Amino acid sequence: MKNKEPLILVVVVAFTLLTYWLVEPFAHSQMHKHVESEHFAYADLAKLTKDGDVANGKVLVTGAAACAGCHSITKEGIAANVDAVTAAATYGVNPPDLSNAGVLFEARFLADLIKNPAHALKVEHKFDAAKGQMHPMVAFYGAGGDIDQEIADIVAYLQSIAVTKEELTPKMAFENACGRCHSMSYENWTQIGEKPKFKHKKDSLAFDIKVLEYQDSIVKYMGKLPPDLSMYYRSRSEHFLSTFIENPQSQLEGTAMPRVGVTAEVAEKIIEHMADAGDTKRAERASVGANVMIYIIFFAIFAFLWKRSVWRDLH
């Protein structure tokens, strides 16, 4: 009698794969709009054409440009004027510390941000100066000289004080670029920093109240509380996260989240930190997986050999 098993196997596998393709890759391609990555080129922003002068940049940042009026630069010994909660109550969100801005953000983004914050951040639908909706960050109108040169100087200065790319850890990237709006409870991160261990419950509650007050300010500023990102690595695809960080408007039109303006490498580090939080054991999974696969192939081979020996008498 002819052995029909290969044909049956082909039929079973074919229908299984067809169903899988329909409900997974095909259905998801229909449900989610595909956004192409622009590789963090920020091509809509003008390129920096001038070479910056670090020393003059420093003068501008601490002087005429008045950056230090709102931003701390802890690396340079410039502390924040007020604490995060008070700052958020004033500006909507705590203005970032500028120590590492030079390594986090793409130069052309920084330049455009200094000149026209709402434009660089892609939140002009929320902050339309013509309608009197001013972005909390005041634009830099120049210190009297060539404004493009001055901005190049500021960028050069910020780049000069920042840590190097290699020194920037995934955790630092996340906390600096995302952590003032987003919490990450699985990494013990709140919008006002890591929650310390308190000896007394009273102190712990006092800290929680500060977080809640800070969150109230962001809710007022953003419309809703930006989500906790602990599990976002598993609830969104890596491609989604990357293109969303690049340009939130491309995936979610009208969202209050600003464009972050990080470089491609920093975006990768942010996603790596999210993976550390949401898929902590991925390395262990890969190594255990390889061993289990090798074992299970041996299992199948031995099962086959046993079957053959048992069935020798049956034919």
Partner 1 sequence: MAHFTKATSVKDWLNQRLAVEKIEKVMASEYWIPKNINFLWAMGMILAITFALLLVSGIFLLMYYNPDVNLAFDSVNYTIMREVDFGWLWRHVHGVAASVVFLVIYIHMFTGIYYGSYKKGREMIWLSGMLLFVTFSAEAFSGYMLPWGQMSYWAGMVITNIFSLGGLHMDGLVEWIRGDYVPAQAFLTRFFMLHVFLLPLAIMGLIGLHFAALRIPHVNNQDGEEIDFDAEAKKYLDGDKAGSKVMRFANDFMSKDMMVVGIYLIFFFYLVFYNYGFAMDPVNFDPANGLKTPTHIYPEWYFLWSYEILRPFSINIGLMAFGFAQVIFMLLPWLDRSPNAVPASRRGKFKIWFWLLLVDMIVLTAMGKLPPQGIFSTIGLVAALGFIALWIALPFITMNEKKV
- Binding test (CB under 8 A) with partner 1, winner from 26, 39, 188, 209: 26
| Interface pattern 252-281 for partner 1 (x via CB under 8 A) | --------------------------x-xx
Give whichever of 198 and 306 is closer to partner 1, judged by the CB atom: 306
Which residue in the block uniquely carries the two structure tokens 């052995």? 3
Instruction: Tell me how far apart the alpha carbons of residues 245 and 259 are, in angstroms, rounded to a whole number.
Output: 7
Question: Which helix (DSSP H) or strand (DSSP E) does residue 190 occupy?
Answer: strand 189-190
Instruction: Tell me how far apart the alpha carbons of residues 264 and 93 are, in angstroms, rounded to a whole number.
Output: 25
Give whichever of 13 and 209 is closer to partner 1, judged by the CB atom: 13
* Residue 16: CB minimum distance to partner 1, A: 7
Within 10 Å of residue 30's Cβ, how many Cβ atoms? 8
The token duo for 83 is 């604490």
Q: Write phi, then psi, for 78 (nearest 5 degrees).
A: -95, 110
Give whichever of 46 and 297 is closer to partner 1, judged by the CB atom: 297
Please provide the DSSP assignment of 136-148 as one string.
SSPPP--SSS-HH
- Binding test (CB under 8 A) with partner 1, winner from 41, 79, 205, 300: 300
- Binding test (CB under 8 A) with partner 1, winner from 10, 17, 46, 296: 296
- Give residue 79's identity as a one-letter amino acid code: A
Q: Is residue 5 at the binding interface for partner 1, with CB under 8 A as the rule?
A: yes
| Interface pattern 209-248 for partner 1 (x via CB under 8 A) | ------------------x--xxx-xxxx-----------
Helix residue ranges, H only, 22-132? 27-31, 54-62, 84-91, 101-104, 107-115, 117-120
Question: Which helix (DSSP H) or strand (DSSP E) does residue 155 occupy?
Answer: helix 147-161
Q: Is residue 46 at the binding interface for partner 1, with CB under 8 A as the rule?
A: no
- Binding test (CB under 8 A) with partner 1, winner from 10, 16, 46, 138: 16
Q: Is residue 131 at the binding interface for partner 1, with CB under 8 A as the rule?
A: no
Q: Which stretch binds partner 1 (CB under 8 A): 22-30, 51-59, 171-179, 214-222?
A: 22-30
Instruction: Tell me how far apart the alpha carbons of residues 240 and 277 are, in angstroms, rounded to a whole number.
Output: 17
Q: Is residue 284 at the binding interface for partner 1, with CB under 8 A as the rule?
A: yes
Interhelix angle 84-91/201-222, rounded to 10 degrees, is 20
Instruction: Tell me how far apart the alpha carbons of residues 310 and 313 are, in angstroms, rounded to a whole number.
Output: 7
The token duo for 187 is 């990494």
- Binding test (CB under 8 A) with partner 1, winner from 8, 10, 55, 209: 8
Give whichever of 30 and 49 is closer to partner 1, judged by the CB atom: 30
Applying CB under 8 A, the residues found at the interface with partner 1 are 1, 4-5, 8-9, 12, 15-16, 18-20, 22-24, 26-27, 30-31, 186, 227, 230-232, 234-237, 278, 280-281, 284-286, 288-289, 292-293, 296-297, 299-304, 306-307, 309-311, 313-315
